[in-house]
């Protein structure tokens, strides 16, 4: 079968993603005394923990963040990741997931160093990425920039934010490319399951 519309590809991606086992991450907005604005962290939560937080939201709609000790045996459990900062809100409406990528960095001496990394995307963002790759088996970050600049921006912000170096986290300043390893593997699985014939992306429209 050939995929003729982005909506058709998204439907296949949605069906596939519903069967994939993943860990759920949610955004925690916290008060940071060192900055004038609140900061946001992403933290893993189980379905049971999300259910407890939703119950707490119903009980204390205005300030449930102050009552987390009512649902967690160890109040520091949720606070550990934010260095004790006060939690303002937890976005339980949008689960996010981490996906594997490889960053290939071009060093000044001409050598290429490849480093495993991860990006965090919402389900709708990852479904859109899978859909574009169903259209084009040779999809790269550069071609995605032309097809879907918004999605490309989300992915690049996740990669650009921090870049791993042996001495710690530093801003990237060397040319590099990123391969979306996990997304490519998932698309290969969809293609095998559905018997899809893939092309070079010529059937798709830019959005």
| DSSP characters over 94-153 | --EEEEEEEEEEE-TTS-EEEEEEEEEEEHHHHHHHHHHHHHBTT--HHHHHHH-HHHHH
pLDDT at 78: 56
What is the CB neighbour count within 10 angstroms for residue 85?
18
* pLDDT value, residue 109: 86
pLDDT above 70 (res 36): no
* pLDDT score at 185: 94
**What would the pLDDT profile of 89-127 be if each residue is shown by its tens digit?**
889 988 899 999 888 877 778 888 888 888 889 899 999
Q: What is the mean pLDDT of residues 160-170?
A: 49
Q: How far apart are CA 201 and CA 170, in angstroms?
A: 35
Nearest-angstrom CA–CA distance, 170 and 167: 8
Residue 170 in this model has a pLDDT that exceeds 60: no
Q: Which region holds residue 195: left if phi is over 0, alpha if psi is between -120 and 50, else beta?
A: left
Which one of 114-123, 141-150, 181-190 scores highest in mean pLDDT? 181-190
Cα dihedral across residues 110, 116, 118, 123: positive or negative: positive
Helix, strand, coil % over all residues of the chain, rounded to 5: 40, 25, 35
Least confident range of 35-39, 100-104, 127-131, 173-177: 173-177
Tell me the C-alpha distance between 87 and 50, whole Å. Answer: 15
**151, 99 in Cβ contact below 8 A?**
no
């Amino acid at each position: 079968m050939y995929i003729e519309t982005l909506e058709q590809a998204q439907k296949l991606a949605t069906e596939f993603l519903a069967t994939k086992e993943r860990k759920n991450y949610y955004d925690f907005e916290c008060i940071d005394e060192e900055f004038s604005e609140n900061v946001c962290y992403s933290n893993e939560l189980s379905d049971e923990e999300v259910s407890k937080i939703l119950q707490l939201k119903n009980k204390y709609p205005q300030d449930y963040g102050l009552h987390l000790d009512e649902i967690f045996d160890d109040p520091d459990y949720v606070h550990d990741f934010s260095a004790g900062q006060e939690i303002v809100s937890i976005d339980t409406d949008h689960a996010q997931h981490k996906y594997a990528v490889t960053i290939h960095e071009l060093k000044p001496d001409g050598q290429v160093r490849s480093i495993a990394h991860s990006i965090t995307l919402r389900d709708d963002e990852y479904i859109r990425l899978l859909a574009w790759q169903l259209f084009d088996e040779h999809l790269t970050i550069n071609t995605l920039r032309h097809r879907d600049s918004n999605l490309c921006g989300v992915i690049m912000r996740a990669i650009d934010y921090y870049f791993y170096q042996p001495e710690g986290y530093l801003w990237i300043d060397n040319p590099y490319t990123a391969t979306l390893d996990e997304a490519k593997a998932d698309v290969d699985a969809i293609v095998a399951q559905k018997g899809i014939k893939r092309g070079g992306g010529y059937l798709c429209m830019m959005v």
